[in-house]
Chains A and B, each alone.
Chain A
Amino acid sequence: MKNILIGIFIAINLFGAPRVGDEAVKFQLPNLYDKDNSLKSQQIQGKVVLLNLWASWCSGCQEEMPLFVELQKEYPKSEFEIVLSSIDNIPQSARDFLAKVDKERVLTSLYDGDKTLPKAYRCPGMPSSFLVGKDGKISEVYIGSLDDDAILQLKAKIKSLLGK
């Protein structure tokens, strides 16, 4: 009986979505603008990362994107990096949208056509953002779009994660 309960507990944990405090999902995704150039999650380890799962057809994602551009401009990428992962079926749609809001290509943009990250994180909503600390662990999960107030709270969180 004890073994069965332990087995069920392990199974639930294995199938459960990553939560705050858990290790962030490892990935390797191609760049949105250059499919031959991919980014591994190990390459961004050691800095604070905001992983944003978005799509050009999602109105909430469209609303928060200009705020992300402004936020990224406030920090050097060596300390804090916003990594966008587009789940559009057609990557050109994502490129077209970003051409309007992120002309200088400030944000790191990846393409996840197979939707591996939302599946791994079992996203209950779009957009979804995950703040990952220097240790590679999830520090905060944001479901839905972030507004100005949420960005202020996010900045405070980034500051504490950067140890400033």
Chain B
Amino acid sequence: MLRLVLVLFSLFFVGCSEHLVRVMPYEKEYFSQDKMSLSPLGERAEQEGHIYLIREASAGGESAFQGGCGCR
């Protein structure tokens, strides 16, 4: 019984993990600043950001991703 409860709770709380590690869209103010861009050139920054996302398998860690908004 205890094991079942632990399994259910671990399944339930695994949903929290994303919020713990992911920068939420409303927290991206500093990432949206120009100085956070990977490159001063817009197109190049976008390209580098794309490569960065693939390499790091991460989201929201740099400014080019979704323009810092989470919507685009």
Contacts and interface: CB of A to CB of B under 8 A. Distances in A.
Contact of B71 (A57, A89, A144): A144
> Interface size class for chain A?
20 to 34
Interface string A103-133: 0000000000001001100011111000000
Interface in B6-48: 8, 12, 24-29, 32-33
Given A4-B8, A12-B12, A60 B71 contact: yes
B29 A88 contact: yes
B69 A123 contact: no
Contacts of A123: 24-26, 70
A8 interface: yes
Interface in A53-75: 53, 55, 57-61
A59 B72 contact: yes
B8 A118 contact: no
A53 B26 contact: yes
Contact of B29 (A8, A12, A89, A119): A89
Interface size bracket, B side: 10 to 19
Given A4-B5, A8-B12, A60 B25 contact: no
30 contacts: A1-B4, A4-B4, A4-B5, A4-B8, A8-B8, A8-B12, A12-B12, A55-B26, A57-B32, A59-B67, A59-B69, A60-B71, A60-B72, A115-B27, A118-B24, A118-B25, A118-B26, A119-B26, A123-B24, A123-B25, A124-B25, A124-B70, A125-B66, A125-B70, A125-B71, A126-B25, A126-B26, A126-B70, A127-B69, A145-B71
The 8 closest A-B pairs by CB, nearest first: A144-B71, A118-B26, A125-B70, A125-B71, A58-B69, A57-B32, A126-B25, A126-B69
